[in-house]
């Protein structure tokens, strides 16, 4: 690391970092050959190490290689790990009926498993969206040299480099079919990060839902019991906070910000060269690390340890006035609305208002208002 002192905030083509690498490689080769370091002999950083190359095609190539490797080897496995945990909860809780909520207000019932199946599907879709962007990310700019024409690069150089990189990495890298686009724009990076941003949006929603469903433990929704990872307060003894959910939402907020940077930077290709390369690489790789590390931590320290609080779930289900929806086909919307509003106003139950108001008998109410019959079509 001492040999690579440069920071992200440099020339937008990444030329300084590329020259830094050329000089380190040159000096290491000279050292191995018994020469004098810094002499540029017998291995010159430009004439030899940088032969057939330009920073303008080499840096974007390095960006794509780093991005693809981290997405494939780190991010996708982490998201699959999270998906498996959410899917396991969905299956385990398939028979736990709870009240649904829309607009944060009581709605009709569903199972806790159905609710978590939605979360699992969000992550599954997110993984697929990222995978769909990878073919474009696997296209390399190397061989375009300065402006995309391939000046000073021999015929077949671009194809040969891509083939060799594919062999070394085990990933299906190919040479970009149009080097002018590959140098002047980084749409592939913006697109893949956009898919990652969508995953961040999903994770933000999932973490927030779990946080609020676990609120309490006595004065909140309290439908879920979240793992107790550490003390939650320096002043309130015994307090436990949803720290993993909070960490997840914070890192997602950072990814949202990175997406804004990626969009602006991707749009800033002036004529034949994009000059926001370092900041694009920096933000992209940061987002990958945040999402991958966050998904692993959220899975292992939160999701796998979540338990349902059946007492609170059942209480909320039985107290909900929206079970009246089951009477729609029998009594009609207006009558059902009156029953629900009257029960809410009087602090009574649906049964008391429906039967007491002469709308139907106890037996008819029991037959119609059955939460287990309200969690599927029909």
The CATH code of the domain that includes 358 is: 1.10.40.30
Residue 219 lies in a domain: yes
Same domain (yes/no): 216, 348: no
Same domain (yes/no): 249, 115: yes
- CATH of residue 42: 1.10.275.10
Same domain (yes/no): 129, 220: yes
- Chain Cα centroid distance, residue 173: 24
Same domain (yes/no): 2, 69: no
- Chain Cα centroid distance, residue 301: 17
The last residue of one of the domains, among 31, 51, 71, is: 51
Same domain (yes/no): 185, 332: no
Q: What is the pTM of this model?
A: 0.95
- CATH of residue 278: 1.20.200.10
Q: Out of 103, 219, 234, 376, which one is annotated catalytic?
A: 103
The last residue of one of the domains, among 286, 311, 336, is: 311
Find the domain containing 362 and state its range: 320-373
Residue 165 lies in a domain: no
How many structural domains does the chain have? 3
pLDDT tens, residue order, the chain (378 aa): 899 999 999 999 999 999 999 999 999 999 999 999 999 999 999 999 999 999 999 999 999 999 999 999 999 999 999 999 999 999 999 999 999 999 999 999 999 999 999 999 999 999 999 999 999 999 999 999 999 999 999 999 999 999 999 999 999 999 999 999 999 999 999 999 999 999 999 999 999 999 999 999 999 999 999 999 887 788 887 888 999 999 999 999 999 999 999 999 999 989 999 999 999 999 999 999 999 999 999 999 999 999 999 999 999 999 999 999 999 999 999 999 999 999 999 999 999 999 999 999 999 999 999 999 999 998
Residue 12 lies in a domain: yes
Q: Answer for the pair 145, 53: CB distance below 8 angstroms, yes or no.
A: yes
Same domain (yes/no): 250, 325: no
Same domain (yes/no): 29, 69: no
The last residue of one of the domains, among 277, 293, 311, is: 311
Is 54 labeled as catalytic in the residue annotation? no
pLDDT at 239: 86
Same domain (yes/no): 26, 89: no
Is 320 labeled as catalytic in the residue annotation? no
Same domain (yes/no): 231, 285: yes
d(CA 157, CA 58): 13
pLDDT at 232: 75
d(CA 61, CA 151): 17
Which among 136, 135, 67, 8 has a CA at the least distance from the CA of 288? Answer: 67
Same domain (yes/no): 303, 199: yes
Residue 294 lies in a domain: yes
Same domain (yes/no): 108, 240: yes
Whether a cis peptide bond, with omega within 30° of 0, leads into 42 is: yes
Residue 187 lies in a domain: yes
Residue 234 lies in a domain: yes
Q: Out of 3, 39, 233, 270, which one is annotated catalytic?
A: 233
d(CA 180, CA 174): 15
Same domain (yes/no): 265, 121: yes
Residue 95 lies in a domain: yes
Residue 10 lies in a domain: yes
């Amino acid at each position: 690391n001492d040999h690579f002192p440069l920071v992200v905030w440099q020339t937008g083509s990444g030329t300084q970092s590329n020259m830094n690498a050329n000089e380190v490689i040159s000096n290491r080769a000279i050292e191995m050959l018994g020469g004098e370091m810094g002499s540029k002999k017998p291995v010159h950083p430009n004439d030899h190490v940088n032969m057939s190359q330009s920073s303008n095609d080499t840096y974007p190539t390095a960006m794509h290689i780093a991005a693809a490797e981290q997405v494939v080897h780190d991010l996708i496995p982490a998201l699959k790990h999270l998906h498996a945990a959410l899917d396991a909860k969905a299956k385990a809780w398939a028979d736990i009926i709870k009240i649904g909520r829309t607009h944060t207000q009581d709605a009709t019932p569903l199972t806790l498993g159905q609710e978590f199946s939605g979360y699992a599907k969000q992550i599954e879709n997110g993984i697929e969206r990222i995978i769909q962007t990878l073919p474009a990310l696997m296209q390399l700019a190397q061989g375009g040299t300065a402006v995309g024409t391939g000046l000073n690069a021999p015929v077949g150089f671009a194809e040969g480099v891509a083939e060799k990189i594919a062999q070394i990495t085990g990933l299906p890298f190919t040479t970009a079919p149009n080097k002018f686009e590959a140098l002047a724009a980084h749409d592939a990076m913006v697109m893949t990060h956009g898919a990652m941003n969508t995953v961040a949006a999903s994770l933000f929603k999932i973490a927030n839902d779990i946080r609020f469903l676990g609120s309490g433990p006595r004065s909140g929704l309290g439908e879920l019991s979240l793992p107790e990872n550490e003390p939650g307060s320096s002043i309130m003894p015994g307090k436990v906070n949803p720290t993993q959910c909070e960490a997840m939402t914070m890192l997602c907020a950072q990814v949202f910000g990175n997406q804004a940077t990626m969009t602006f930077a991707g749009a800033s290709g002036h004529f034949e060269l994009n000059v926001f390369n370092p900041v694009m690489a920096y933000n992209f790789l940061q987002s990958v690390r945040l999402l991958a590390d966050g998904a692993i931590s959220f899975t292992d320290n939160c999701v796998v340890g979540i338990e349902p609080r059946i007492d609170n779930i059942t209480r909320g289900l039985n107290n909900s006035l929206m079970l009246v929806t089951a009477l729609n086909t029998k009594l009609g919307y207006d009558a059902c609305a009156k029953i629900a509003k009257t029960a809410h106003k009087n602090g009574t139950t649906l049964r008391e208002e429906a039967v007491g108001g002469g709308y139907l008998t106890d037996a008819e109410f029991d037959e119609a208002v059955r939460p287990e019959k309200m969690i599927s079509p029909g």
